[in-house]
Amino acid sequence: MSAVEPLAWRRTPAKRKARQLATTLRQERPDYVYLKEVFRQLRAELGIVVPRTPKRLPYVPTEEEVRRYYDTVWKTRKPGDLVLIKTLLYTGVRVSELVDIRLVDVDFDRCQIRINKGKGGKDRVVPFPSAFKETLALHHDRLRQRGASYLFESSWKKPYSDRGVRRLLERYATAAGLPQPISPHRLRHFLLTWLKTQGVDDALIQPYSGHASRQSLEIYSRLAIADAQAAYADTMGRFPV
């Protein structure tokens, strides 16, 4: 409060006011949900508007940056890293979903990967380009022969961690001299943005993007994944890498 503000306008300290409110509310045996609704109604009664922090547009790498990044990965001649980064680029999966992919989740006949319990606990399938099938199959076979369970796991048969994947991507971004670090989510943004700039409709992107909204729920009821994958396959022939 301002020093020149009248004494009558001084507020009760927040802790004391909380105790006063607690005395009133305790008899209701409130839980979190009840309290949340009470304070929502209280804000409405007092005409208090919750300030919204403006959302900043996410940084999306340019095509030239993605090519430079991919070239840097390619020159290291580390097949496992190359497959991991291509999987992120081609499918747009979240890092938590990537590290949870098992060998049995890859369907080479349909060029699809099953994502189990993705964001929101929902299962879905994501496509990958047919041109990536052979490279992914060789990686898949190497892992299978050494008794692995996950598509990306260490030689100690431990699945990669979120943090490990993020560090891997950051190292390559630094080696490529990119102005911004590369994260799994930025590769996801790149794919979804690129598909949209190529003219692929949102309705065809959402069934495998993992986005959940009122609009996407309506789309799921009308659109089959086969329709979405046909548009995806037709467009990915022009992908930068």
Catalytic positions, written as ranges: 94, 119, 185, 188, 211, 220
Residue with token string 């290291």:
76
Q: Are 151 and 80 a contacting pair, CB within 8 Å?
A: no
Distance between CA 200 and CA 192 in Å, rounded?
Answer: 9
Residue 124 phi/psi, 5° resolution?
-160, 170
Distance between CA 241 and CA 187 in Å, rounded?
Answer: 12
Around Cβ 226, how many Cβ atoms within 10 Å?
9
Q: What contacts 24+ positions apart, CB below 8 Å, involve 49-58?
A: 58/185, 58/186, 58/189
